[in-house]
Amino acid sequence: MKSRVPPLVPAALLALAALLAAGCAATPKYDPDDCPTFSDLDAVRVNPAGALERHLRLEASFRVCPPEEGLAEIRRKRIELKHELIALLSAKTEAELSAPLRVENLRREINAMVNERVLKRSRVVEVYITELELE
């Protein structure tokens, strides 16, 4: 007598295999806390939007991952990084630069900008604003 496998068993096994394969993301081969900080960017000085008599001076450092590849990429793209920072900061108004959450907002916006417009093979995981002065 032949044994028959119910038709639902193979389908259930396939669904389980697909679920397990999709749910298992590869873990990074590094700890993001161990990624290096890039701090070789000169201070950026711009006029805020609509305020030609005022100046904003910003210095920032960037924690970039993966460790070696990320640091190499951000060093290579230092000019692009500075260009994009100037564009972002010069579009800010005095009101935005005087808001209580200005530093946190700038950190978030700079982080997104670098990851979207500058870096392709690595990611900035943290932005440290080391100087912010509106003169």
In terms of Cα–Cα distance, which of 130, 69, 81 is closest to 110? 81
Domain count, the chain: 1
The residue count of the chain comes to 135
* pLDDT value of position 24: 53
Output the six-digit token pair for 126.
Answer: 């943290």
In a domain, 8, yes or no: no
Whether 6 is covered by a domain: the verdict is no
Residue 50 lies in a domain: yes
Distance CA 103, CA 128 (A): 10
Determine, yes or no, domain membership for 21. no
Q: Establish if 5 belongs to a structural domain.
A: no
Please check whether residue 22 lies inside any domain of the structure.
Answer: no
Tens of pLDDT along the chain (135 residues) come to 555 655 555 665 555 555 555 555 555 677 888 899 999 999 999 999 998 899 999 999 999 999 999 999 999 999 999 999 999 999 999 999 999 999 999 999 999 999 999 999 999 999 999 999 998
Whether 77 is in a domain gets the answer: yes
Separation of alpha carbons 40 and 81, rounded Å: 11
Q: Is residue 39, in this structure, part of any structural domain at all?
A: yes
Range of the domain at 40: 32-134
Phi, psi of 94 (to 5 degrees): -60, -35
> Residue 29's pLDDT is what?
79
CATH of the domain at 130: 3.30.479.30
